Structure 1
Amino acid sequence: MQLDGALADLLALVHTYGVVDPDIAHRVTVSPAAALPEHDETWPYDLGALQNPRDASVLLLFGSMDDRPATFDRTIVPKELDILLTQRSLALRNHPGQVSFPGGGQEPADDDATVCAVRETQEETGVDPTGIVPIGQLPTLPLPISNFRVTPVVGWWQHPNEMITTEEATRVFRVPVGDLVDPKLRVTAVATDRSHKQRYGTPAFTVGGTLVWGFTAMILDRVLELLGWAEPWDPRYIIDITNWDATKPVPAAIFDHEHNARDFTGRR
């Protein structure tokens, strides 16, 4: 698969499960999108009900990173294909220290979820919005822990520029998508909610010198699966993040033969 094939797959993903941006046909040329693999499950995770939520958007910004290609080569994903991630400041109220897609709450001046996602990405990372081609929006997902209703927006970074760090994003980095599908870099992150004495888990990725887990990892996991890019991996390799400090090295994974692959929070 070449980059134009990956772009066609992303367009097919949005066409199948979401809403394609009406301007993409005028801004980028792609080969006809092939049919995606069939799946028994629907796009979203069921993460629970919300009470008077605030609308928000995140940007899944894919592009080509020629200077640091993926090391995992047993995949159909182009080695130079990458995605933009940020590490949230420890000073933030919501999800401090976590790795996430750039994004945030919608403002009154934002015409729609795409405008919000691009604006937030520029504010957090310095990415020039004129270099972004919006592909479209995926279905909105609830994020009960912070009471947001989040719309994932898929974009193509046609003209990359130098990134910056900000008060909100203390680290901004690009991760090869091929590394995200590497089974050796995939684990399950688990934590114990002491107040409710419940143990919960999410898919996770040990990439970029850190751990991608939670809501962001759940979206990545689902997108890779629906695109047909995911490789089989063993969710019984566990990293317990209950007491983990995001400024510290990622703990080593431990094999838990009793862990159920379907234990992800809200997984249908």
Structure 2
Amino acid sequence: MTEPQLPAWCEPLLTRVRSARAEDFTRLRTPANGGRASAVLVLLGEQPEHGLDVLILQRAATLRTHAGQPAFPGGACDPDDKDEAATALREAHEEVGLDPESVTVLAQLPRLWIPVSSFVVTPILAWWHRPHPVHSREPAEVAHVARLPIAELVDPANRVRVRHPSGWIGPAFQSRGMLVWGFTAGVLATLLEMAGWARPWPQDRVLDLPPTSPPPTPTAGTGEPDEATAHP
């Protein structure tokens, strides 16, 4: 099968990603051993009406962990998974019905430590070369699935910082009725900077998260350290 030709926007981003370090995404050191291996899929696609976008799902409000929080598709590695990319694609298929054959894996990002859940997460950057409809296959786990336009994410009017009740403050995005924050927003913010798509925005715009929000994971995002006054 002929490999699909990569779009022009890929190479500048891949050039930066190839030399990326965990420190570019988070100020937490990834442990050499321990932690549960997992992977998430950072899936970039394109649509005629709004251009480049990223696939984001919203966790169900009834989950024990990360309830109601937007996230990339993904989850824990299974022994039968060939590698982290296989994990991310399998989980995306299980969660939203993504066809793995419609995806071109571009790069494996650095392993990132999430102490709240003891996961070591490997983000997999990919291009959705043959987009198709997706939806929640497990409503008890995934409440909503959306393709958020990059143009909306980088719009200064849609960028904010959020303050968790613990005191943590980090980057966030508002798009299509979703507030993307925490680990997912941090990874997105860093990738937008690496791709050269980010635009200056007023960082004094801070929203308070409700007390029921799940604990955050400090993530540097744009390279500026998040504030963590009461959370490790």
User: Does residue 208 of structure 1 match 2:176?
Assistant: yes
User: Is residue 47 from structure 1 mapped to residue 28 from structure 2 by the alignment?
Assistant: yes
- Kept after mapping to 2: 8 A contact 1:14/1:135: no
Check if 1:66 corresponds to 2:48. Answer: yes
Q: From 109, 113, 120, give the equivalent of 1:142.
A: 113
Separation in 2 of the partners of 1:118 and 1:232? 33
Q: 1:192 aligns with which of 165, 178, 185?
A: 165
Q: Which runs of 5+ in 2 are unaligned?
A: 1-5, 215-223
1:13 pairs with 2:16: yes
Matched, 1:114 2:85: yes
Instruction: Choose 1 or 2 for highest CA Rg.
Output: 1
Check whether the contact 2:25–2:186 (CA below 8 A) recurs between aligned residues: no
SS in 2 for 1:233: coil
2:35–2:120 contact (8 Å) kept in structure 1: yes
1:224 is matched with 192
| Aligned mates of 2:197, 2:158 — CA distance in 1 | 15
Aligned-residue identity in percent: 38
- Please tell me whether the aligned partners of residues 55 and 146 of structure 2 are also in contact (alpha carbons under 8 angstroms): yes
Paired amino acid for 2:18: H
Q: Counterpart of 1:31?
A: none
Partner of 1:165: 136
* Alignment partners' CA distance in 2, 1:16 and 1:221: 17
User: Secondary structure in 2 aligned to 1:17?
Assistant: coil
Partner Cα separation in structure 1 for residue 135 and residue 148 of structure 2: 16
> Given the two structures, how large is their TM-score scaled by the length of structure 1?
0.73
Report whether the alignment pairs 1:85 with 2:67.
no
How many aligned positions are there? 212
**2:150 aligns with one of 177, 189, 202:** 177
Shift of residue 235 of structure 1? 1.5
Please give the root-mean-square deviation of Cα atoms over the aligned residues, in Å. Answer: 2.3
What whole-Å deviation, never above 9, does each CA across 1:198-251 have from its counterpart, x for those lacking one?
x111100011202000000010111111222111111110110033679xxxxx
Give 1:49 deviation, angstroms. 6.3
The whole-number CA distance in structure 1 between the counterparts of 2:181 and 2:212 is 12
- Contact kept, 8 Å, 1:83 with 1:176, in 2: the verdict is yes
- Note if contact 1:83-1:174 (Cα within 8 Å) is conserved in structure 2: yes
Answer yes or no: is the 8 Å Cα contact 1:54–1:105 preserved in 2.
yes
Following superposition, the deviation at residue 92 of structure 1 comes to 2.1
3-state SS in 2 of match to 1:97: coil
Residue type of the alignment partner of 2:122: T
Moved more, 107-116 or 164-173: 164-173
